[in-house]
């Protein structure tokens, strides 16, 4: 039983450990697409920053909070895509 547990641990641990640094010859996005994505993320962050500055002027307007949260979340989502496919 002890050998079976050790075998199972090795069987499940080795593939997970070796899959992290797998580099493929084919890429999902090329450099130009990655640069466009990075520029789009920067634009989303600038828009979110604009809304945060507007919130500082009028902190009672709930629509500004929703807009700032929306653009911040979009930037975060696209940053994850950039990190996975471009970094």
- pTM comes to 0.66
Rg of the chain over Cα atoms, rounded to whole angstroms, equals: 21
| Alpha-carbon separation of residue 66 from 31, 52, 71, 85 (angstroms) | 33, 10, 9, 29
Query: What confidence tier does 35 reach under pLDDT thresholds 50, 70, 90?
Result: very high
- H helical segments located in the chain: 2-18, 31-57, 62-85
Query: With the C-alpha atoms ordered 13, 10, 8, 5, is the resulting torsion angle positive or negative?
Result: negative
Cα–Cα distance for residue pair 60/69, rounded to 1 Å: 15
Does the pLDDT value for residue 25 go beyond 60? no
């Amino acid at each position: 039983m002890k050998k079976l547990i050790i075998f199972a641990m090795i069987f499940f641990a080795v593939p997970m450990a070796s899959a992290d640094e797998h580099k493929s010859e084919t890429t999902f996005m090329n450099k130009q697409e990655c640069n466009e994505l990075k520029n789009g993320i920067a634009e989303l962050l600038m828009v979110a920053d604009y809304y945060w500055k507007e919130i500082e002027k009028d902190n009672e307007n709930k629509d500004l909070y929703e807009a700032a949260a929306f653009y911040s979340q979009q930037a975060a989502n696209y940053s994850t895509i950039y990190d996975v496919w471009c970094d």
